[in-house]
Amino acid sequence: MRIFKNILFTTLVLMSTSFYSQNKEKVWELLLENNREEALQLVNKLKGNNDIETLFLKKIIERENGVMQCKPSFIDELIKYDDYENYLFANWMQSFVFGDYLKSGFEANNLAAPNRINTSKIRNSTVKNGLLYLQAITKRYQLDWDKFTLKMNSINTIKK
């Protein structure tokens, strides 16, 4: 009887995982067919932000539906995942991460987002130094010269 319960449990877990995966694939198919509204409805039915791929999939679908703003709460969700650094770096300039501050400058949302991440917890030196620089230039933009200098001095570079 116990073996039967284990087999049944395993089957249910595999079926639910397969169903969940099929739903994500369906969202991508709808997006590629330019059915953005339907893709948004389906992605909103996916249960929570239980993996980092779904978190980004939701943001991509929202952007395709015209939601372009950078919300600091997205950063709070993102940094809960262990492997967020690669996703952060790959999507750095996306409107839902830090925005394209090189073209459009800074605004309240993308000024706050980089400063929500604790750089001491970042393992990848490229991401860490890039984030320190971004935090520094947000402080420069706000004319906070002491914090700007502090951030710039903490970037791992060869000093004279």
Half-sphere exposure of 115 (CA within 13 A, CB side): 15
CA–CA distance, 95 with 43 (Å, rounded to integer): 19
Token representation of residue 103: 């073209």
Return the minimum-mean-pLDDT range out of 81-90, 102-111, 115-124: 102-111
Burial tier of 37 (Cβ tally within 10 Å: 0-12, 13-18, 19+): exposed
Element (H, E) at 112: helix 108-112
Output the pLDDT for position 48.
Answer: 53
Per-residue pLDDT tens digits for 87-115: 999 999 988 898 888 888 888 778 888 99
- The pLDDT confidence band at residue 47, using thresholds 50, 70 and 90, is low
37 pLDDT more than 90: no
The arithmetic mean of pLDDT across residues 132-147, rounded, is 95
pTM assigned to the model: 0.75
Which residue has tokens 């993102």? Answer: 78
